Amino acid sequence: MQALVKQRYGSSVSEPEPAVDARRIAAEARNRVRFEEEALEFADQVYRVARRLVGSREEAEDLVQETYARAFRSWRSYTPGTNMRAWLFRILTNLNVDRGRRVQRTPPMQPLEESDYYLANKLASSAGEEALEQEQVVERLSQDSIVHALAEIQPQFRDVVVLVDIGDFSYADAAEILDIPMGTVMSRLHRGRRALKQRLAEETLA
Amino acid sequence: MTLDPCERCEELLQEFLDRTLTDAEWREAESHLAGCDYCRRRYRFEETLRRYVKLSAVERMPPGLMSKLEELRGLDAMA
């Protein structure tokens, strides 16, 4: 059967090289355009996360552009059908580390409060249990204080909080992106969220 | 040492909100929350806080960035 097929379609097998090349090049160009379009659909999300990983809007813009430049340059290393969002964010977080952010100023971590309910308890004891209701939360914690508190968390903890709580990544995706075990994602997330609440308590109830 | 039920609930709450608990843990947290006003308030607070953190942290892409990204298309390591 194999031999028969070969015989029947023999002419296409021995097709002159340039035609095969042209088809391959056209197919590759189509794949590349599809890749670029798919990648650009995530631009909003990439920016949103980048903005919270670095200090300023300008730095975030630079980081997003670097991420896309590298992604477009190495599009061949992406395997179609796999998680492109995680692939892009892995580039982003690696670039962010390369930018030397790790050695930038990081405020010393306060010793962590024992309780996950720390902020809730503080608000409740200063303003009563009603302070825990939705409208009161929004009233008492300003948007600025949240952004500020987030920026103050140590980067290794912030990365995880930003990916999971702002970027909507699963623990598994965050582990893949940051190249750390899932257990580490969970413990950093835990610490990061506590640190955030502690900062908020300090800012709000100071 | 065993935790008191509210401490146990606190321990489970973040993963409860993440929806990553096992079925047994989920039921444990849910049944405690159903009967405990203190923990239910904390649950609502943590849920609201998460939503609000997300809302506060999200910043729209600056105008012009998308076209800068479009301009990067066609970069190729092999070219």
| 8 Å CB contact of B53 and A190 | no
| 8 Å CB contact of B65 and A197 | no
Per DSSP, the three-state class of B41 is helix
Here the tokens at position A58 are 């300008």
CA distance B23 to chain A (A): 18
Spell out which residues of chain B touch residue A196, defining contact as CB-CB under 8 Å: 53
pLDDT at A109: 62
Share of chain A above pLDDT 70, in %: 86
Structure confidence by residue, pLDDT tens digits, B10-67: 999 999 999 999 999 999 999 999 999 999 999 999 999 999 999 999 999 999 999 9
Q: Could you tell me if A173 and A86 are in contact, meaning their C-beta atoms sit under 8 angstroms apart?
A: yes
CA distance B31 to chain A (A): 19
Per DSSP, the three-state class of A19 is helix
Return the residue in A24, A63, A76, A117 with the most chain B beta carbons within 10 A, the one to mutate for interface testing. Answer: A117
ipTM given for this complex: 0.88
Taking Cα atoms as reference points, which of A99, A21, A20 lies closest to residue A60? A99
Here the tokens at position A60 are 């975030």
pLDDT at A171: 95
Q: Could you tell me if A50 and A60 are in contact, meaning their C-beta atoms sit under 8 angstroms apart?
A: yes
Taking the CA atoms of residue A25, residue A28, residue A30 and residue A36 in that order, the dihedral angle to the nearest 10 degrees is -140
pLDDT at A115: 84
Q: How many CA atoms lie within 13 A of A90 on its CB side?
A: 17
Rounded to an integer, what is the distance from CA A10 to the centroid of its chain? 50
**Whether B14 contacts chain A with CB within 8 A:** yes
- Is the pLDDT at B78 greater than 80? The verdict is no
CA distance A15 to chain B (A): 26
**Whether B65 contacts chain A with CB within 8 A:** yes
pTM of structure: 0.84
What is the number of structural domains in chain B? Answer: 1
Q: Give the residue numbers spanning the domain of B62.
A: 5-78
**Residue A108 one-letter amino acid:** P
Spell out which residues of chain A touch residue B72, defining contact as CB-CB under 8 Å: 65, 68-69, 72
pLDDT at A73: 94
Residues of chain A with pLDDT under 70: 1-16, 101-110, 113
**Whether A117 contacts chain B with CB within 8 A:** yes
pLDDT at B20: 92
Spell out which residues of chain B touch residue A74, defining contact as CB-CB under 8 Å: 77
